[in-house]
Amino acid sequence: MKKVYIVLIVLFTIFIYIFISSTSGYYEYSNNNKTVFTEEKIQEFEKDIAEGKNININNYLKNESKDYRNNITNLGDDLSEFINKTVNFILKGGFKIIEKIIN
């Protein structure tokens, strides 16, 4: 019963946090910062074109992709691939045996 109260308190706290951040305008503020950044890059792009500089689109785009890979995720990928190949091999062999039995 005590665990239920703890879960409810945590959920309520999360709700209050999200509610306050949405009413305080934090989300809109973060979106506005992204827009300002984009407008600055557009002006920089137009300036570079006017000056006749060599244009590379990667200089104006912000890379927001994050690489979360580490040794544990690599191990998980390798293990998953090994299991996939093993199950595939077993199933193909099993179906070949069933095919020989039927024929």
Judge contact between 45 and 60, C-beta under 8 A. yes
Rounded to 5°, the CA angle 29-32-37 comes to 130
pLDDT in tens, 67-101: 778 888 889 889 999 999 999 999 999 899 988 88
The one-letter amino acid code at 37 reads F
Alpha helices (H) in 2-102, listed in sequence order? 2-23, 26-51, 71-102
pLDDT in tens, 10-55: 998 988 888 776 677 766 777 766 666 677 778 888 888 888 888 7
Instruction: Supply the pTM of this predicted model.
Output: 0.38
